Amino acid sequence: MAVHFMRELDNLKKLSLTMAAMAEENLRLAVKSAIERDEPLARKVIEADHDIDRQEVAVEEECLKILALYQPVAHDLRFVVAMIKINHDLERIGDLAVNIGERAIVLAQRPQLTRDYNLRALAETSIQMVSRSLDALINQDAKLAREIWLSDDEADKRNREVLNSVEEDIARDPSQLPSLLAVTSISRTLERIADHATNIAKDVIYMIEGDIVRHRSRFLRAQKSQGAA
């Protein structure tokens, strides 16, 4: 039975890594389609989401099968539970990539905006957070996961900067409203993707250490601010 159990765990790892690679790649392509106003690429991103959805189901079914047949304990149980949660976050990242693709189509069909609103910088921040969280997962690196968990302010800050700039331009030139609303949507979506990357990092910490760190980041930042003062 132990041999079969280890085989199932290995299969779950392979399925999960495939899911992670698919979600990350579609996110990168979605951002590329928005930055470059590439409508055909954006439509490919939207179509690829069906494959990501199917992979999510495959991962979840494997997790449930392992729980039902082998009743894992300790680290193995944490691994399966964490993978269920991480799988959900990856699927949501895939959905959000579709949202970016849909807004990219809007931008591609409208006149070029006068500035890029630093969307590229926000996109790079969010993509890097996703990539690093997956590195932490693959390498079982709790230290890296904690760094990601406590560094999600950067995406929030960049999102606010984009939204402030868009608000100014809406007041200045309402004729650009459809394009500017698309930029707003992309910016908020990228910020939400960074949140999902943070969720993955938290689940990696739980998987490795058994420590549930959800909801603690605000408290730790408050402590840090008080210490700095």
Cβ–Cβ under 8 Å, residues 119 and 186: yes
Q: Interior CA angle at 51 toward 201 and 77, to 5°? A: 40
Report d(CA 13, CA 136) in Å as an integer. 14
pLDDT digits (tens, 9 = 90+) for 81-95: 999 999 999 999 999
Residue 213 is predicted with a pLDDT of 85
Check if the beta carbon of residue 85 is closer than 8 Å to that of residue 56.
no
**What is the count of structural domains for the chain?**
1
**Reduced to 3 states, what is the DSSP secondary structure of residue 210?**
coil
Give residue-wise pLDDT tens across range 25-50: 999 999 999 999 999 999 999 999 99
DSSP-derived letter for residue 112 is P
Look at residue 150 in the predicted model and tell me its pLDDT.
82
Q: DSSP readout, 165-188?
A: HHHHHHHH-GGGHHHHHHHHHHHH
Domain of 47, CATH number, reads 1.20.58.220
Residues of the chain with pLDDT under 70: 1, 215-229
Confidence at residue 224, expressed as pLDDT on a 0 to 100 scale: 47
Asked if 100 contacts 45 with a C-beta cutoff of 8 angstroms, the reply is yes
Neighbours of 156 (CB within 10 A): 14
Structural domain containing residue 193:
2-228
Q: Which amino acid is at 21?
A: A
